[in-house]
Amino acid sequence: MDAELEFAILSDATGKQLFEQVIKIMGLREVWYFGLQYTDTKGFLTWLKLDKKVSSQEVKQENPLQFKFRTKYYPEDVTEELIQDITINLFFLQVKEGILRDEIYCSPETAVLLASYSVQAKFGDHSPEIHRPGYLMSERHLPQRVLDQHELSKEQLEERIQIWHEEHRGMLKKDALLEYLKISQDLEMYGVSYFNIKNKKGTDLWLGVDALGLNIYEKEERLTPKIGFHWNEIRGISFSDKKFKIKPIDIKAPDFVFYTSRQRINKHIHQLCMGNHELYLRRRKTDTLEVQHIKAQAREETHQRQMERAQLETEKRKREAIEKERERVEKENQEMMMKLLQFEEQTKKFERDLKEQFERARILEEDRRRVEVEAARLEAERQEVLMAKEELARQAEDQRKHQEQLAAELAEYTAKFALLEEARRIKEEEASEWQNRAKEIQDDLEKTREELQHVMLSPVAAAPMAVPMSRAMMEGPLENDHDDQEENNSTYSAELHVEVIEDHCNEEECITEAEKNEHVQKQLMVTCLNLSKALLHKMTKNDILHNENVQAGRDKYNTLRQIGMGSTKQRTDEFETL
């Protein structure tokens, strides 16, 4: 998540010179959101003063000196204000770190949804072939609190992240990061710097400084503020030692006063108030030439990316069309090959059947010949019998005298003749039947030959093969200790210019991303339902407060509208009664 850069500076180099080196190498132009943070010699996190020498500030003496490039001020609406990709990415990294460390409270269902956008930004579209089970194990995606609260393994929770990751198909990295930040900016603790303060009664409270104004929280609850003052209600801020005074525009209202434990905390609050108020005014004015130029350049880059994306989508569609055509051709080829195999099988079957027909015809022909031979033999015998009968008849006339003697022989020959006649008749009927069968077989043989000839002459078309195309490219500075000694009894004050603010706070019209986007609302509801089934009831105080707010229909923006209602005097008096 973090990257280390090393710079060489002169001994008299100012904080601004070091800061400019950092932003130059990063290519960052929206510099007003960021600052360099370090740990001072007393162990406190401090912002580097740009107008002073680095060596004159209480930077912890290490070699090399250690600084962190961090977000110091937050925008009201990331979609409208963040321009450069590098700015969006830096905000994403810091907000994600705050959520994972539980510095920014995030409900479990929102944490899962945010993790899916983070995964989309890192891995792109989900692909089952590339993103195998366990592809999310290399990096932490959820706060440890969420893992501890649910009776689900890390793999099961990551499976739920994967389900939403699959839904983000086609979303570019910048769009995924913006969706992450759009949902994150609706979190109650997003962009708020907290300070321990006390009212005149000595009640321990929290002061929250953010892009919209100042909010007061009870000591045990940093989610829901109790009192709020917008920047357009404040005309001046000042502090003296541990006392901090805020002057409201309403001249009838008393000054809003609170106390801190140290003067350097007041200096920190003072600087944050000045910076946030300046940005509050800048948002309500016409963009400077620098911002206009940055936006124009960003629009040009966005247009270029859109053109490249459109070209990529066109190439992708062409590739998909070619792939579908190739699959269709391959399918047709397979079908043709199957038909060809069927034709070959049918041809072989016809050949086998033809051979069988030829064999049966040969056998029948042999049988026919045998019948003909037998018929000829019988005919010859019949002729012999006839001749013998005639001979006997002739001899009968001559041998009438021997009739009694030859009567027995004649009867014998007559009986034999009758038997032969019956045999001949039977043989003739068999011969006629065999001739009819031979004729039918001959006809079947001729028909089979014609069918085989027709099959052999039928052409088999080969479909053309398509060649697939190649894949297209797709918080404020703490003063030095000697400053405390020299300025212990000094007073700092600043008048905030309010005459340029002509409009009311546009936060009164703000709604959360879930209210704007029904799809996000549906995603959160489904994820909440799934996670609630595995809840171990190890809920933190923030979880309980968040659930109470949800059940009461309260979100960040209607809470801010509610605590800003009433006169400034009423809210100041309410602060003193806490």
Query: Percentages helix, strand, coil for the chain, rounded to the nearest 5?
Result: 60, 10, 30
Cα→Cα distances 454→285, 355, 365, 450, 459, Å = 89, 17, 27, 6, 10
234-240 and 243-248: which strand pairing?
antiparallel
Q: The tokens of 332 are what?
A: 């047709």
Beta-bridge partners for 68 = 37
Is the torsion defined by CA of 226, 231, 234, 239 positive or negative? positive
- Is residue 49 marked as binding? yes
Q: The tokens of 453 are what?
A: 């000839």
The Cβ of residue 550 has, within 10 Å, a number of other Cβ atoms equal to 12
How deeply is 370 buried, as exposed, middle or buried, from its count of CB atoms within 10 A (0-12, 13-18, 19+)?
exposed
Say how far apart CA 310 and CA 312 lie, in whole Å. 5
C-alpha closest to that of 209 among 282, 242, 255, 258: 258
- For 148, phi and psi rounded to 5 degrees? -75, -25
- Maximum CA extent, the chain: 187
Q: The tokens of 376 are what?
A: 């000829």
Say how far apart CA 313 and CA 316 lie, in whole Å. 5
CB 219 within 8 A of CB 205: yes
How deeply is 529 buried, as exposed, middle or buried, from its count of CB atoms within 10 A (0-12, 13-18, 19+)?
exposed
DSSP code, position 31: G
- Tell me which H or E stretch contains 300: helix 289-398
Whether the bond into 464 is cis, omega within 30 of 0: no
* Strand stretches in 48-128, DSSP E: 68-71
CB 441 within 8 A of CB 364: yes
213-218 and 227-230: which strand pairing?
antiparallel
How deeply is 420 buried, as exposed, middle or buried, from its count of CB atoms within 10 A (0-12, 13-18, 19+)?
middle
C-alpha closest to that of 57 among 85, 18, 1, 92: 18
Place of tokens 């929102």: 110
- Is residue 50 marked as binding? yes
The Cβ of residue 227 has, within 10 Å, a number of other Cβ atoms equal to 20
- Is residue 444 marked as binding? no
List binding-site positions. Answer: 49-52, 267
